[in-house]
Chains A and B, each alone.
Chain A
Amino acid sequence: MKKYASAPAYPYVIWMLIFIIVPLLLVVWYGLFKVENGNIQFTLEYFARFFEPVYIQVFIRSILLAVISTAICLLIGYPLAYILAGSTFKNKSVLLFLAIVPMWMNFLLRTYAWLTILEKNGIFNQVLRFLNLPDQNLLYTPYAVILGMVYNYLPFMIIPIYNALEKMDHSLVEAAADLGANKRKVFRKIIFPLSLPGVVSGITMTFMPAVTTFVISKLLGGGQSTLIGDVIENQFKVSNDWNFGSALSLVLMIIILLSMRIMTKYEEENAGGGLL
């Protein structure tokens, strides 16, 4: 019996090979080979271009903004998940569901709505003026991009954490309290470690799309906080340079998988959980 325990994964593995690995090989092909006069040649020139200062700078900015947004998502998402999981409200799952419904409205429309809120004569500044506070020009700054990312990926953080907390064995909490641990200690020693799988899942689901996003920086950053996703997008859509675009996305993949690996390394249990 044990021998076949992983058998349920096989259909997916086949699916994965066809629809994930084969397309990936295409990306590798474009990133590493070029066809010149009918000859196929291995080349590292596309990878070399990544190391030009301008692209490194864009790349660092992408990682930085994604890390900040993920951290904010965790900071404001964890308490909400915690409150929801501990709430006595009858239909908790409805509340949770409500966290994700906004994302069913088209992304572009929601982001446009943020423009209406944040712009110079927008709703946010109208409110500030009403309160006799000075105007804030948030739009078209990196802050607006971070806001856009947090707004978009917050549910990706809340839900896995909620699920983990919800599933927690509450007798452990009670036992710890009975043994004299104060609330803080209970949280630090029991609750947080137990919710860790959810936190890791949440970080993964927030950070990865945040690094590769492109529309948010265009719309809320006014095109002035170019991210690596924008650059890759451009190689395919404007510059007609699929090779460079593929090379860039390969670099992106490798670096992120590595950095996620470092981030989750301390968690022994997760050693076989992927991320290299």
Chain B
Amino acid sequence: MKKFFALLLVLTLTFSICACSGSTTPTADKPLAGTTLKVFNWGEYIDEDVISMFEEETGITVVYDTFETNEDMYTKIKASGDNSYDVCFPSDYMIKRMIDEDMLAEIDFSNVPNYKYIDQKYLKQVFDPEDKFSVPYMWGTVGLVVNTDLVAEKIDSWQVLWDPKYEKQILGLDSERDAVGLTLKALGYSLNSRDEAELEEAKQALIKQKPNILAYVGDQVKDKMINEEAAIAMLWSGDGIALKMEDPKFEYVIPKEGSNFWIDSVVILKNTQNKAGAEAFINFLCRPDIALKNVEYICYATPNTAAYEQLPDEIKNDKTAYPGEDVLSKCEIFENLADSDILQTYSKIWTEVLSQ
């Protein structure tokens, strides 16, 4: 047994020596060469070739880490002080919170010429009304994916989630903000509601929905749907589009009552030690060919007009991937609720629903 561990140790050490990177010094065309840029992103939320290309072009070494939720990322950055990241990718409501808590640096847009490719539609949002701190990276919606082999009727409303026909046929989203928020939407309220009566109504509706729910799941949705474990699932647009591309029997629907419209943006953290590098990185991400590479890899929707133009027609004209103003006008962005006690109410509602 001892020998076994000795062998294991030797293997590990050899392996760890093999995996390291060299450094370079600045040159005229690569003024930032030799510096380091620490990037914090969602897992699987970039085409990794993009990072290598950026390193090659600029000589900057990228330290790339991933997180699971906005809140994890926030807690981590808040606690780690100066030794933190330079660039990260929060969602809308979290950007607002980080701005409010003075965690973000203003971006110098003269260093980000490719910013011009970002569609005006996605700017001037509630979370960053003057567009000082964030550059949209990806956006999407929440909707229903329907297996048309199993569901004959045309689905266009959240009401289907309460249809007794689909007992144990529906996969819910394992996220209290989405579950409660979209139920509010189905009932005709705002998904940012802070009204106790409306929230209570949403809770009752969710409880009533439970016989139809097979499970509340996260990322296994795609596997489950392909495997025909369920007929209908609530999910994010990127997953919906990916399913459609996998098999045309799947349809992604944004219900007519409206839904959640979200944006994930790139931001620079206040105590960055490489602001120039961070801006170069954001500029790189906005470059049409790079944005295209990323959107093709991730499957969500790009806010980059030039990248959008280069997409294949069937995606470009897909009203579910890139819904028109008529649909988006009915959708809402999640507001930051962390400044109030309402999140606790959400949490309690969700626990009660799950425990029924």
- A220-253: CB near B (< 8 Å → 1, else 0) gives 0111101000010011111111001000000000
Q: Which residue of B lies closest to A55 (CB)?
A: B351
A112 to chain B, nearest CB (A): 7
**Known interface pairs A97-B1, A121-B227, A222-B215; A241-B71 also in contact (CB < 8 Å):** no
**Does residue B330 face the partner (Cβ distance < 8 Å to A)?**
no
One digit per residue, 1 when the CB lies within 8 angstroms of any chain A CB and 0 when it does not, for chain B 211-236 equals 00111111010011001110000000
Q: Please indicate the chain A residues that have their CB under 8 angstroms from the CB of B9 in the complex.
A: none
Q: Are the C-beta atoms of B174 and A223 separated by less than 8 Å? A: yes
**Chain B residues with CB below 8 A from A223, complex form:** 172, 174, 215-217, 354
Q: Is A9 an interface residue (CB 8 A)?
A: no
Interface contact A119-B227, CB-CB below 8 Å = yes
The binding surface of chain A is classed by DSSP as helix
* Complex contact B177–A238 (CB within 8 A): yes
In this complex, how many residues of chain A approach chain B with their Cβ under 8 Å: the count is: 33
Chain B contact residues (Cβ within 8 angstroms of A): what range? Answer: 20 to 34
Residue-wise interface mask of B (171-191) relative to A, using a CB-CB cutoff of 8 A (1 in contact, 0 not): 010111100000000000000
Is A100 part of the contact surface with B, judged by Cβ < 8 Å? Answer: no
A226 and B344: CB pair below 8 A? no
- Bound form: Cα–Cα A58–B344 in Å: 17
Residue contact A93 to B227, C-beta cutoff 8 Å:
no
Contacting residues, chain A, for B355 (C-beta < 8 A): 54, 57-58, 61, 226
Tell me, yes or no, whether A156 is within 8 Å of chain B by CB.
Answer: no
Per-position binary interface string of chain A over residues 93-127, scored 1 when its CB falls under 8 Å from any chain B CB and 0 otherwise: 11001000000000000001001000111000000
Q: Is the C-beta of B30 less than 8 angstroms from some C-beta in chain A?
A: no
Residues of chain B within 8 A of A241, CB atoms compared: 343-344, 347
Chain B: minimal CB distance from A222 (Å): 3
A238 touches B176 (CB 8 A): yes
Closest to A91 in B: B1
Interface pairs (16), CB distance under 8 Å? A93-B1, A119-B229, A120-B227, A219-B220, A222-B215, A223-B172, A223-B215, A234-B350, A236-B75, A237-B72, A238-B69, A238-B177, A239-B343, A239-B344, A239-B346, A240-B338
13 further interface pairs, Cβ-Cβ under 8 Å (given A222-B213, A222-B215, A240-B338): A57-B355, A112-B220, A120-B229, A221-B215, A222-B216, A223-B216, A224-B215, A226-B354, A235-B347, A236-B71, A238-B177, A238-B346, A244-B344
Tell me the A residues contacting B by CB distance below 8 Å: 52, 54-55, 57-58, 61, 93-94, 97, 112, 115, 119-121, 139-140, 218-219, 221-224, 226, 231, 234-241, 244
